[in-house]
């Protein structure tokens, strides 16, 4: 059956401006870090992306090494691009990144011009697109001049292989340097992709201010702390599949964190939200878009319903601060 997108896909929520740019993102975006590698059935992946787009999620976030194996999330996405999303290419914001390890040897990692531009070419091939909407430097590279890394983003844009430039997980200081270089090249940095959640508030210590001063927007990754800020771990529940993620650290299930989850969940319940919904609504006070992952369409629906209540009273914020923190 050829895919036909839901006719009402733009009626569910509005779109948010990324800093001072013209770029608009959905309040909730979907990342393909987990659940889109060759280790997961393709049909399930397709169901997730179709469902997300049908619900107005116009932004899919990728990176060169998402999988496993590396590259397979982009390849699987490419198959969906050719099969399902080709007629909708201009309705989609697609991103990819380079910065973490991708291929062996000295030229397949970090932030050199050599790596960044070669990696983008490979990503475009795998994704079956002529360009991505956002190309990111995935992390700061202390050994390469920031002007070289940002210069590579500028080149990608001038070559028509990316429309907007972004950086991920750069410190406030490094961000300021990158912003300056980008400005001097005439290619503004538009978006920063940092981690941000109720249990990880590092960006409040300088980065958000830097972004505001630089006219940049942000998309916060792991707003659910990789599934911790959901009902998976409440009331002594411990869903096995939640902890199978390579990167999910068992230490995240400390007594202290479990106590925080219960406290936060009580506040969410008073707001008529699930813990996941409150976590997303809370993150959206600070970031332009919340970048979630999902393994089931029901999770996407639950998370989107967060948008029904984005307001927080001062009293709620004060109660949240008692439990939220690093």
Contact positions vs ligand NDP (CB under 6 A) = 31-35, 61, 138, 168-169, 193, 221-227, 230, 232, 241-242, 276, 291-295, 299, 302-303
Residue with tokens 């001063």: 213
Q: How far is the C-alpha of 229 from the C-alpha of 224, rounded, in Å?
A: 5
Q: How far is the CB of 240 from ligand NDP (least distance, A)?
A: 9
- 184 Cα distance to chain centroid: 27
Distance between CA 258 and CA 240 in Å, rounded?
A: 16
Residues 6+ apart with CB under 8 A from 197: 220, 222, 223, 224, 225, 229, 279, 283
144/193 with CB nearer ligand NDP: 193
Nearer to ligand NDP, 149 or 313 (CB): 149
Q: How far is the CB of 7 from ligand NDP (least distance, A)?
A: 26
Closer residue to ligand NDP, CB minimum distance, 286 or 299? 299
Give the contacts of 157 (CB within 8 A, at least 6 positions apart): 135, 163, 164, 165, 187
Least spacing, CB of residue 277 vs ligand NDP, in Å: 8
Q: How far apart are the first and last CA of the chain?
A: 47
Residue with tokens 């948010």: 16
Q: How far is the CB of 33 from ligand NDP (least distance, A)?
A: 3
Structure tokens at 67: 């999988």
CB of 279 to ligand NDP, least distance (A): 8
Segment holding 220, helix H or strand E:
strand 217-221
Q: Are 37 and 69 in contact (CB under 8 A)?
A: yes
CA distance 290 to 1: 31
Nearer to ligand NDP, 146 or 292 (CB): 292
Q: Find the shortest distance in angstroms from Cβ 247 to ligand NDP.
A: 8
Q: Considering the complex, what minimum distance in angstroms separates the CB of residue 118 from ligand NDP?
A: 20
Rounded CA gap, 68 and 71, in Å? Answer: 7
Nearer to ligand NDP, 179 or 191 (CB): 191
**Alpha carbon distances (Å) from 251 to 61, 247, 248:** 27, 11, 9
Q: 69 vs 87, which CB is nearer to ligand NDP?
A: 69
Residue 87 or 325: which CB sits closer to ligand NDP? 325
| Cβ distance to ligand NDP smaller for residue 184 or 249 | 249
DSSP3 helix / strand / coil % (the chain, rounded to 5)? 45, 15, 40
Q: Residue 30 Cβ, how far from ligand NDP at the closest point, in Å?
A: 7
């Amino acid at each position: 059956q050829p895919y036909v997108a839901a006719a009402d896909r733009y009626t569910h929520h509005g779109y948010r401006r990324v800093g001072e740019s013209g770029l608009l993102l959905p309040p909730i975006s979907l990342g393909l870090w987990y659940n889109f590698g060759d280790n997961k059935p393709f049909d399930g992946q397709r169901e997730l992306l179709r469902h997300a787009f049908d619900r107005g999620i116009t932004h899919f976030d990728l990176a060169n090494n998402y999988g496993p194996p590396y590259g397979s999330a982009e390849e699987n996405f490419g198959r969906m691009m050719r099969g399902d999303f080709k007629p909708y290419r201009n309705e989609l914001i697609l991103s990819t990144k380079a910065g973490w390890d991708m291929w062996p040897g000295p030229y397949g990692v970090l932030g050199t011009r050599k790596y960044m531009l070669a990696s983008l070419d490979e990503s475009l091939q795998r994704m079956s697109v002529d360009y991505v909407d956002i190309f990111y430097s995935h992390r700061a590279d202390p050994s390469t001049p920031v002007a070289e890394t940002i210069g590579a983003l500028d080149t990608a844009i001038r070559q028509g292989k990316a429309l907007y430039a972004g950086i991920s997980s750069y410190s406030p200081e490094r961000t300021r340097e990158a912003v300056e270089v980008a400005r001097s090249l005439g290619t503004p940095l538009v978006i920063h992709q940092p981690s941000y959640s109720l249990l990880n508030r590092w960006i409040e210590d300088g980065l958000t201010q830097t972004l505001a001063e630089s006219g940049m927007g942000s998309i916060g990754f792991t707003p659910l702390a990789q599934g911790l800020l959901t009902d998976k771990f409440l009331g002594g529940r411990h869903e096995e599949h939640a902890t199978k993620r390579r990167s999910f650290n068992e230490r995240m299930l400390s007594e202290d964190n479990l106590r925080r989850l219960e406290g936060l969940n009580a506040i969410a319940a008073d707001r008529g939200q699930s813990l996941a919904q409150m976590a997303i609504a809370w993150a959206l006070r600070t970031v332009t878009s919340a970048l979630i992952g999902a393994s089931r369409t029901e999770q996407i629906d639950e998370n989107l319903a967060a948008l029904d209540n984005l307001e927080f009273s001062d009293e709620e914020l004060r109660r949240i601060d008692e439990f939220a923190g690093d």
